[in-house]
């Protein structure tokens, strides 16, 4: 079992990664909303907006209701980022903190 302060630090880093993931992908939705009026000048904005709608379409087809994209991205991408951080910190780096020393 890991040292308690080290485990608390790792759990805090995992939570921070989740918040960063939520903010990053919510920022993409805000960016798509800002660029929507410029879609004639920037042809990739339509494709970008449709790609952002894919998770909402999947959830809508499963549940039958259309979710709020901001909440959906905050939850899904926050869990994705924190899951990757948890995998890295708890399983890959392990108890020694990822040192490559063989001694």
pLDDT tens, position by position, 31-85: 888 888 887 888 888 888 888 888 888 888 888 887 787 888 888 888 889 999 9
**Angstrom distance (rounded) from CA 15 to CA 26:** 17
**Angstrom distance (rounded) from CA 85 to CA 9:** 12
Locate the domains of the chain by residue range. 4-92
**Residue 98: pLDDT over 60:** no
**Angstrom distance (rounded) from CA 49 to CA 36:** 8
Instruction: Report the range of poorest mean pLDDT among 14-28, 59-73, 88-102.
Output: 88-102
The DSSP secondary-structure symbol of 95 reads T
């Amino acid at each position: 079992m890991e040292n308690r302060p080290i485990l608390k630090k790792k759990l805090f880093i995992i939570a921070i990664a989740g918040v960063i993931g939520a903010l990053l992908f919510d920022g993409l939705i805000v960016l798509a909303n800002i660029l929507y009026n410029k879609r004639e000048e920037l042809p990739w904005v339509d494709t970008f907006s449709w790609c952002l709608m894919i998770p909402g379409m999947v959830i809508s087809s499963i549940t039958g209701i259309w979710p709020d994209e901001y909440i959906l991205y905050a939850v899904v991408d926050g869990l994705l980022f924190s899951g990757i951080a948890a995998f890295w910190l708890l399983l890959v780096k392990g108890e020694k903190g990822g040192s490559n020393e063989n001694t």
